[in-house]
Chains A and B, each alone.
Chain A
């Protein structure tokens, strides 16, 4: 019997234990996926406090509804589905209130630092500045997308999921994923005019 903390213990084996009420098994799963879940939440809501709340709520709901996880999709797809739904709710609530806390996202001194750091290569100082501005422009553009368009774009371009996985996460057809991606990119093209 392998140790629970062993990284090789498959998700489904841990899931089986969780279903029997094993908190230790769930602890391993939370630690295994908390970065990915936080990353997705952060990409979508673009606010650290909200992303933390969403991550926590994702794992609480995961625990409560683990008995309903059928194993048809991978565990992380299932967790992503919970995360994406929670994130879409947060974005909708913000949009209905007309509040979009993107201060820390707007291009400026800190753009690209702390939250939402661009993957950096070796580069010259003026290139760094330019990349920070670009980071700000991308974040601003993402923020203008509808929650549904933002979700598919983030899952495709940042999480590198294929259409089938995205469809599983979002709970829609592959055709809908393709359509949303098309329009999301088309809008991004408009918003990022000058960068492309």
Chain B
């Protein structure tokens, strides 16, 4: 015997929605079980109460006003759609990809500048002083000078032209 707490067929029975094959079975079960019968009566009572007290909702606007709202909204959406449809591909790509494109350009510029800087300094040789300090001898072809970078210095002496080879 099913627990009346969990017998959805009771709803189907009182709504006349059960297949004919189940109607008699559910009725017989309810007749034979007071818990089921009570559950069925409860279902019926709620159904009856709600049906007797149905709500009517007055629409606060007329059909014309509703159409006006809907029409405006549809028009607005279609304008947006048209705007997208009529925009050429290049513009769309620019709109969509301008940020990544800018980032890529910036990266290229920085990389080139770095490479350019490297090109300006040509390493002649690396050395170590008798005191164990490492030093590098650079030549700057554009300026026509040779400079030495020594460990511990945070700059390259601008007018240094010491040539350790000399």
Mark A residues whose CB is within 8 Å of B: 23, 27, 30-31, 34-35, 38-39, 42-43, 48, 51-52, 55-56, 59-60, 63-64, 114-119, 131, 134-135, 138, 153, 156-158, 162-163, 174-175, 178-179, 181-183, 185-186, 188-189, 192, 195-196
Contact = CB atoms under 8 A, between A and B. Distances in A.
Interface stretch (B6-14, B88-96, B112-120, B130-138): B6-14
11 contacts: A34-B67, A56-B73, A118-B53, A134-B53, A138-B50, A156-B15, A157-B47, A185-B11, A185-B47, A188-B50, A196-B45
B76 to A, nearest CB: 10
B77 A64 contact: yes
Nearest to B17: A163
- Interface residues of chain B: helix, strand, loop or mixed (majority): helix
Which 9 residue pairs spanning A and B have beta carbons closest together?
A: A31-B63, A182-B11, A182-B8, A42-B57, A157-B50, A179-B8, A185-B46, A181-B11, A59-B70
Contact of A118 (B43, B55, B69): B55
Contact of A38 (B10, B47, B59): B59
A63 B134 CA distance: 78
B50 A119 contact: no
A62 B156 CA distance: 73
Nearest to A53: B69
B159 interface: no
Contacts of A158: 50, 54-55
B58 interface: yes
Interface string B63-76: 11011011101100
B100 interface: no
A23 to B, nearest CB: 7
Contacts of A131: 53
A38 B57 contact: yes
A188 B77 CA distance: 42
B73 A138 contact: no
Contact of B54 (A38, A56, A118, A186): A118
A185 B10 CA distance: 11
Nearest to A187: B46
Contacts of B39: 186
Given A56-B69, A60-B73, A181-B15, A117 B8 contact: no
B71 A192 contact: no
Given A163-B17, A186-B42, A195-B49, A178 B57 contact: no
B53 A135 contact: yes
Contact of B59 (A23, A34, A195): A34
B63 A188 contact: no
Given A27-B67, A118-B54, A163-B15, A60 B43 contact: no
A108 B5 CA distance: 34
B61 interface: yes
A122 to B, nearest CB: 15
Given A182-B10, A185-B42, A185-B43, A43 B57 contact: yes
A4 B17 CA distance: 37
Given A31-B64, A196-B42, 10 more contacts: A51-B57, A52-B60, A55-B66, A56-B70, A157-B51, A174-B17, A182-B7, A185-B11, A186-B43, A189-B46
A135 B8 CA distance: 26
